[in-house]
Structure 1
């Protein structure tokens, strides 16, 4: 699914629909297309879906960390004059959503996290010692999903290009190390925004016990499971993901 990437000021983003903004924060290796199902569904339900392109590969190396990306999201929200924002993040994106909410609590009225880093992630700090080995990268990509066939050649090629681009790899590792340093275990009890946690039961990257810990420590959270599902629930089971999220938004009157 192709969408027009808009340029406004220093920001690049996709924006579709009208209504309450759902701002989607993609993961470290995740593309904007990972959220095709969300982008297709929620504008029809009265929401504005926005996916900013995170400056993971464009910040100066010494400023490539999740705190600066969280500040970037706050600047984006202010620049676009969005109100009553809902932040939806997968993996690193969920971590950035949580940190943005911690640093700028007025910036979000609700959170959705799925396969979120911030407590633990098995791939964080990965150095990709065999990055020139295509089959190695293919297996790493397949491990993200319950059904390895979802890791198409296009997805594998994208990851392969990133880890074999020295500039991008350096920034990828910098972000990964920054995420480890910004463990949010002590911060979660102070985040009171309604939070929807949607997790794959077979997530190998952020295992199910991570979801349970998020649920335990976030005081206003609801936890939902998707079976036969890995790290990218919104991509592997888009209809079920959308159904869970839409029901939760209605129940919470968001």
Structure 2
């Protein structure tokens, strides 16, 4: 993604800055005062996913949102560091270097898994974690072999990321993808996702992340993560079954579950006010 071209009307652009911290060149959005709340988007997303949540939380907190390595406007500096452990370590090092140790972390999908893994890697653990449709188990069924297979194809064929971007970036590709995960978002949101997936560098980094991602270690460690955790579930999520959060809540020592009927995998983009109100209530209780 090119900031001068694609960033000129990017959501919350006025709060963006860029930081060189090895191995990546990071895009960060930062606003507000108070306890630090870190926002971590899911696989294939970017800071735009928090476009409506970010300003609401910034009324009461110092909110920090980042683009994951290679996705959005963060430039990938080391392709082999897209797995959960390496990504957690690199984000923790970035935050420590910028004096932005989070008091709470809110993560969507794979971002929720990162939030829980970062408890181990941060200089001090957060006081609260919120997982939105938290992807805490490896993909099952077709997705279990399809996504890693696509990533391996890309490693063998440098043009495959461009081909995938071309397919997803057409008139109906993104609508098909978003509908397939049980969500209905605004035309503005669809246009932003279309812009993302049309970029082969973003798509390539997303596929590298999927290929390197494994959650067995984190799942094993859940009983030892004592940070109070709220797991928010959209009942119509077709990407991460609601039962995943139910099982995770049973393994975490201090977890609660909140269900949102009629919302899918992008629940925070479909109903940002309602979802953020639930997040704020949880943060208020623990910060």
Q: Give the TM-score normalised by the residue count of structure 2.
A: 0.77
Alpha-carbon distance, 1:95 to partner: 1.4
Structure 2 residue corresponding to 1:200, chosen from 230, 234, 240? 234
Tell me how large the CA RMSD over aligned residues is.
2.5
What is aligned with 1:237? 271
Instruction: Report the Cα distance in structure 2 between the residues aligned to 1:139 and 1:208, rounded to whole angstroms.
Output: 21
Matched, 1:13 2:28: yes
SS in 2 for 1:185: helix
Instruction: Report the Cα distance in structure 1 between the residues aligned to 2:124 and 2:43, rounded to whole angstroms.
Output: 25
Matched residue count: 249
Instruction: Report the Cα distance in structure 1 between the residues aligned to 2:272 and 2:202, rounded to whole angstroms.
Output: 29
What is aligned with 2:78? 60
Instruction: Report the Cα distance in structure 1 between the residues aligned to 2:187 and 2:139, rounded to whole angstroms.
Output: 21
Instruction: Report the Cα distance in structure 2 between the residues aligned to 1:185 and 1:151, rounded to whole angstroms.
Output: 35
Instruction: Report the Cα distance in structure 2 between the residues aligned to 1:152 and 1:26, rounded to whole angstroms.
Output: 14
Higher deviation after alignment, 86-95 or 153-162: 153-162
Alpha-carbon distance, 1:104 to partner: 3.5
Instruction: Report the Cα distance in structure 2 between the residues aligned to 1:115 and 1:79, rounded to whole angstroms.
Output: 29
Residue 8 to residue 160, structure 1, CA distance change in 2 (3 Å): closer
Alpha-carbon distance, 1:184 to partner: 2.2
What is aligned with 1:3? 13
What is aligned with 1:186? 220
What is aligned with 1:246? 280
Confirm or deny: 8 A CA contact 1:20 1:85 kept in the other structure.
Answer: yes
SS in 1 for 2:248: helix
What is aligned with 1:103? 121
Matched, 1:141 2:175: no
Confirm or deny: 8 A CA contact 1:94 1:117 kept in the other structure.
Answer: yes
What is aligned with 1:210? 244
Residue 19 to residue 152, structure 1, CA distance change in 2 (3 Å): closer
Matched, 1:91 2:106: no
What is aligned with 2:97? 79
Alpha-carbon distance, 1:200 to partner: 0.3
Instruction: Report the Cα distance in structure 2 between the residues aligned to 1:23 and 1:180, rounded to whole angstroms.
Output: 22
SS in 2 for 1:51: strand
Q: Which runs of 5+ in 2 are unaligned?
A: 1-10, 152-159
Residue 59 to residue 107, structure 1, CA distance change in 2 (3 Å): farther
Instruction: Report the Cα distance in structure 2 between the residues aligned to 1:159 and 1:8, rounded to whole angstroms.
Output: 21
Residue 83 to residue 138, structure 1, CA distance change in 2 (3 Å): closer
Instruction: Report the Cα distance in structure 2 between the residues aligned to 1:68 and 1:227, rounded to whole angstroms.
Output: 35
Q: Which runs of 5+ in 1 are unaligned?
A: none
Confirm or deny: 8 A CA contact 2:137 2:215 kept in the other structure.
Answer: no
> C-alpha deviations, 1:18-47, integer Å up to 9, x for none?
100001111121121111222111121x21
Instruction: Report the Cα distance in structure 2 between the residues aligned to 1:212 and 1:144, rounded to whole angstroms.
Output: 19
What is aligned with 2:7? none
Residue 105 to residue 233, structure 1, CA distance change in 2 (3 Å): farther
SS in 2 for 1:61: coil
Q: Give the TM-score normalised by the residue count of structure 1.
A: 0.86
Instruction: Report the Cα distance in structure 1 between the residues aligned to 2:29 and 2:270, rounded to whole angstroms.
Output: 21
